Chains A and B, each alone.
Chain A
Amino acid sequence: MSGNIELLSDTLAAAKTEGRSALIAYLPAGFPTVDGGIAAIKAVFDGGADVVEVGLPHSDPVLDGPVIQTADDIALRGGVRIADVMRTVREAYEATGKPVLVMTYWNPIDRYGVERFTAELAEAGGAGCILPDLPVQESALWREHAEKHDLATVFVVAPSSKDARLAQITAAGSGFVYAASLMGVTGTRESVGAQAQDLVHRTKATTELPVCVGLGVSNAGQAAEVAGFADGVIVGSAFVKRMLDAPDETAALEAVRALAADLAKGVRGTA
């Protein structure tokens, strides 16, 4: 079975046709449990997310702030395995028919085996991978297997990326480009800086791929602001925080569904 890169591209194109940005949500697998995590993903799709990124929890999440670190810890203490991540992707995709990606640090894939990981992800119905600590110059092996299995390779670009480097990254990527709105780790921020707009502008000068903005977005107002210049708005920590703050699982599901609905209005400029 081949991966769902086309479904991802079609979904982002459809949002563009509607004259809006796509809403992309991030949730870690296995948090608070594997089944609870799957239910949460279904809830954010139900609330209005267009795409979901499933985080593969890692022992050493150096690019994540305290909120996602806490969720990763809970998932790992619960014993989450790569097989559980694959089941999460499969069940979320089969229940919704929407694009589901995996976001992971590189070492788990390196250790698990690139061919084994890409084959299993494609078979589960995954659309691709976001690899925030795999630099483009080390990515040839991954890309070869991802292409073979029709999986997107989403690279991250940062405000510090120089123009020549942006061109090199976007030429190697597929699906979309993840533009980090600011210099820092994941987590909610009061405001999403002006550097995000500049980065999107510079990135678009190098590629036809959609450019989606992540890091720091937590509410509909910020989503609307980012939607003014980006093809997609990526929200992670704000969802995880709602779940951490909820008194029980039912309340957690309702909280992420409500946040997704709110953000969905934001990306449509109707908040």
Chain B
Amino acid sequence: MPSEFFIPDPEGQVPTAEGYFGVFGGKFIPEALVAAVDEVAVEYDKAKSDPEFARELDDLLVNYTGRPSALTEVPRFAEHAGGARIFLKREDLNHTGSHKINNVLGQALLTKRMGKTRVIAETGAGQHGVATATACALFGLECTIYMGEIDTQRQALNVARMRMLGAEVIAVKSGSRTLKDAINEAFRDWVANVEHTHYLFGTVAGPHPFPAMVRDFHRVIGVEARRQLLERAGRLPDAAIACVGGGSNAIGLFHAFIPDTDVRLIGCEPAGHGIETGEHAATLTAGEPGILHGSRSYVLQDEEGQITEPYSISAGLDYPGIGPEHSYLKDSGRGEYRAVTDDAAMQALRLLSRTEGIIPAIESAHALAGALEVGQELGKDGLIIVNLSGRGDKDMDTAARYFGLYDKGADAVVAADADSDTAEIEGDAK
């Protein structure tokens, strides 16, 4: 019986055997990692065609994660989007609270197949770190998570979750002390411990085969959404919308719709305080092609190839790179990418909470803000699907400060005016 939930890309599509999506991708890694990365590629190829692997993964995705995830229509929210119909793909309802678990379970099974006993991973918002710590607890693997020091502060709840699950969490103090630096440190660990350690990479960036493999594990999001939407709305959407940091939830939603050329694929990047301020992480909007973390893609960098420090209120999107397949979709014109400011995302977060009783992650709120714009553009006949990639529990401290939700005299310092367009978070990274 064919697998229902592990649905890798059909043969013959991108990337090439060398990992290229057009001119993007490849494998720019130090020699010390070549053997390990090649081993991942070989093992993944074997697993992909092994019915036993698909059976094990399907079983986990159904009975542990809770797939298929729900599709929820949000009419009260959609009133603010020009009357277009909006459906949310509820990856926030997965076990651990985000889409990340799809990829993590796949790679954790692969880790076992490779006979490795230790897993390392980077995390920004903590969603990937929590999912990885969860899988390591489930499979009895040793687990170390690298997280930028700034992110350990703004996502403290997820740090506690990872530690509760038995993982070691290391706060990375180099560079901008965010996701990029966590990845640097994870690479340093991997080079030294590659013999028994798998780097469970959390997004569709990195050297081949990670962009294709991580995409394959998330492809189920779009496959389910497409089927659910045809059943519920009777047609394909006009637009599929997702937030993009590294791009894993977006490619997961988009991929099954790529052959449906009438479906617009819209990625929402973090514009932070605004592109013009320079304080943003909108890689496809403002970056140039370059090499970061093992592949060629758009990168936020200066004219001499130094990576510039990104900024976003969202720890999960605060990254100066992007998966190579998104760069390919952008340059081929199949994908559209627009930038959403911190404030627009926060307003969308509050709006969804108050109109639908769903508190989204700040990452996902960027996609919701994009949907409000696109809905206005499409008008009342529009049909939109948004990937609600994660739930917002982890972000309540940030949101409470942003909107002034704490009581006076409570521990936290309320530094933001809820109605101010220029609200900022005290102590946030600039």
Do A and B come from the same complex? Answer: yes
Q: Which of B31, B191, B291, B293 contacts A106 (CB 8 A)?
A: B291
Taking a contact as CB atoms under 8 Å apart, the answer to whether B307 and A60 are in contact is: yes
B100 at the interface (CB under 8 A from A): no
If A135-B27, A160-B35, A185-B188 touch, does A107 touch B291 (CB 8 Å cutoff)?
A: yes
A162 at the interface (CB under 8 A from B): yes
Taking a contact as CB atoms under 8 Å apart, the answer to whether A108 and B187 are in contact is: no
B184 at the interface (CB under 8 A from A): yes
Taking a contact as CB atoms under 8 Å apart, the answer to whether A111 and B304 are in contact is: yes
Whole-angstrom distance between the alpha carbons of A157 and B301 in the complex?
Answer: 29
Taking a contact as CB atoms under 8 Å apart, the answer to whether B34 and A161 are in contact is: yes
A109 at the interface (CB under 8 A from B): yes
Interface string of B243-287 (1 = CB under 8 A from A): 000000000000000000000000000000000000000000000
Whole-angstrom distance between the alpha carbons of A107 and B193 in the complex?
Answer: 25
Number of A-B contacts (CB under 8 A): 104
Interface positions of B from 8 to 45, Cβ below 8 Å from A: 18, 26-32, 34-36
Taking a contact as CB atoms under 8 Å apart, the answer to whether A62 and B188 are in contact is: yes
Q: Which of A61, A82, A155 contacts B31 (CB 8 A)?
A: A155
Taking a contact as CB atoms under 8 Å apart, the answer to whether A133 and B28 are in contact is: yes
In the bound complex, residues from chain B placing their C-beta under 8 Å from that of A58 are 305-306
CB distance from A114 to the nearest CB of B (A): 12
A76 at the interface (CB under 8 A from B): yes
Taking a contact as CB atoms under 8 Å apart, the answer to whether A108 and B188 are in contact is: no
Taking a contact as CB atoms under 8 Å apart, the answer to whether B174 and A160 are in contact is: no
In the bound complex, residues from chain B placing their C-beta under 8 Å from that of A133 are 28-30, 291
Taking a contact as CB atoms under 8 Å apart, the answer to whether A135 and B194 are in contact is: no
Taking a contact as CB atoms under 8 Å apart, the answer to whether A63 and B191 are in contact is: yes
Whole-angstrom distance between the alpha carbons of A162 and B42 in the complex?
Answer: 15
Q: Which of B175, B191, B304 contacts A60 (CB 8 A)?
A: B175
A158 at the interface (CB under 8 A from B): yes
Taking a contact as CB atoms under 8 Å apart, the answer to whether A134 and B28 are in contact is: yes
Interface positions of B from 280 to 323, Cβ below 8 Å from A: 288, 290-293, 299, 301, 303-308
Task: Name the residue of chain B whose CB is nearest to the CB of A185.
Answer: B188
Interface string of A74-114 (1 = CB under 8 A from B): 00100001100000000000000000000000111111100
In the bound complex, residues from chain B placing their C-beta under 8 Å from that of A138 are 26-28
Interface size class of A (residues with CB under 8 A): 35 or more
A16 at the interface (CB under 8 A from B): no
If A60-B184, A185-B191 touch, does A108 touch B30 (CB 8 Å cutoff)?
A: no
Taking a contact as CB atoms under 8 Å apart, the answer to whether A183 and B306 are in contact is: no
B192 at the interface (CB under 8 A from A): yes
Taking a contact as CB atoms under 8 Å apart, the answer to whether B31 and A81 are in contact is: no
Taking a contact as CB atoms under 8 Å apart, the answer to whether A82 and B36 are in contact is: no
Q: Which of A61, A82, A161 contacts B35 (CB 8 A)?
A: A161
Taking a contact as CB atoms under 8 Å apart, the answer to whether B290 and A62 are in contact is: no
Whole-angstrom distance between the alpha carbons of A183 and B31 in the complex?
Answer: 10
CB distance from A72 to the nearest CB of B (A): 10
Taking a contact as CB atoms under 8 Å apart, the answer to whether A69 and B31 are in contact is: no
CB distance from A237 to the nearest CB of B (A): 14
CB distance from B327 to the nearest CB of A (A): 14
Taking a contact as CB atoms under 8 Å apart, the answer to whether A107 and B31 are in contact is: no
Taking a contact as CB atoms under 8 Å apart, the answer to whether B292 and A107 are in contact is: yes
A137 at the interface (CB under 8 A from B): yes
Taking a contact as CB atoms under 8 Å apart, the answer to whether A108 and B192 are in contact is: no
B89 at the interface (CB under 8 A from A): no
If A59-B307, A109-B305, A110-B305 touch, does A184 touch B192 (CB 8 Å cutoff)?
A: yes
Interface string of A148-160 (1 = CB under 8 A from B): 0000000111111
In the bound complex, residues from chain A placing their C-beta under 8 Å from that of B56 are none
A65 at the interface (CB under 8 A from B): yes
In the bound complex, residues from chain A placing their C-beta under 8 Å from that of B195 are 183
Name the residue in B29, B292, B305 with the highest tally of chain A Cβ atoms < 10 Å from its Cβ.
B305
Whole-angstrom distance between the alpha carbons of A132 and B191 in the complex?
Answer: 13
Q: Which of B28, B288, B292, B305 contacts A135 (CB 8 A)?
A: B28
Taking a contact as CB atoms under 8 Å apart, the answer to whether B32 and A60 are in contact is: no
A201 at the interface (CB under 8 A from B): no
Interface string of A53-70 (1 = CB under 8 A from B): 000001111110100010
A169 at the interface (CB under 8 A from B): yes
B90 at the interface (CB under 8 A from A): no
In the bound complex, residues from chain B placing their C-beta under 8 Å from that of A106 are 28, 291
B401 at the interface (CB under 8 A from A): no
Whole-angstrom distance between the alpha carbons of A13 and B302 in the complex?
Answer: 40
In the bound complex, residues from chain A placing their C-beta under 8 Å from that of B291 are 106-107, 110, 133
Interface string of B156-197 (1 = CB under 8 A from A): 000000000000000000110000100010011001111100
In the bound complex, residues from chain B placing their C-beta under 8 Å from that of A65 are 188
CB distance from A240 to the nearest CB of B (A): 16
Whole-angstrom distance between the alpha carbons of A157 and B31 in the complex?
Answer: 6
CB distance from A66 to the nearest CB of B (A): 8
In the bound complex, residues from chain A placing their C-beta under 8 Å from that of B175 are 59-60
Task: Name the residue of chain A whose CB is nearest to the CB of B291.
Answer: A107
Q: Which of A108, A165, A185 contacts B305 (CB 8 A)?
A: A108
In the bound complex, residues from chain A placing their C-beta under 8 Å from that of B174 are 69
Task: Name the residue of chain A whose CB is nearest to the CB of B187.
Answer: A62
Whole-angstrom distance between the alpha carbons of A133 and B296 in the complex?
Answer: 12
Taking a contact as CB atoms under 8 Å apart, the answer to whether A111 and B303 are in contact is: yes
B interface vs A, CB < 8 Å?
18, 26-32, 34-36, 174-175, 180, 184, 187-188, 191-195, 288, 290-293, 299, 301, 303-308
Going nearest first, the 3 A-B pairs with the smallest beta carbon separation are A111-B305, A108-B305, A158-B32
Given contacts A58-B306, A169-B31, 16 further A-B contacts (CB under 8 A): A59-B308, A62-B293, A63-B30, A63-B188, A76-B306, A106-B28, A107-B299, A107-B305, A108-B304, A111-B290, A111-B305, A132-B30, A135-B28, A180-B32, A184-B32, A185-B192
A-B contact pairs, 17 of them (CB 8 A): A58-B305, A60-B307, A62-B184, A107-B307, A108-B306, A109-B305, A111-B290, A133-B30, A133-B291, A135-B28, A138-B26, A169-B31, A183-B32, A183-B192, A183-B194, A184-B191, A185-B192
A interface vs B, CB < 8 Å?
58-63, 65, 69, 76, 81-82, 106-112, 132-135, 137-138, 155-162, 165, 169, 180, 183-185
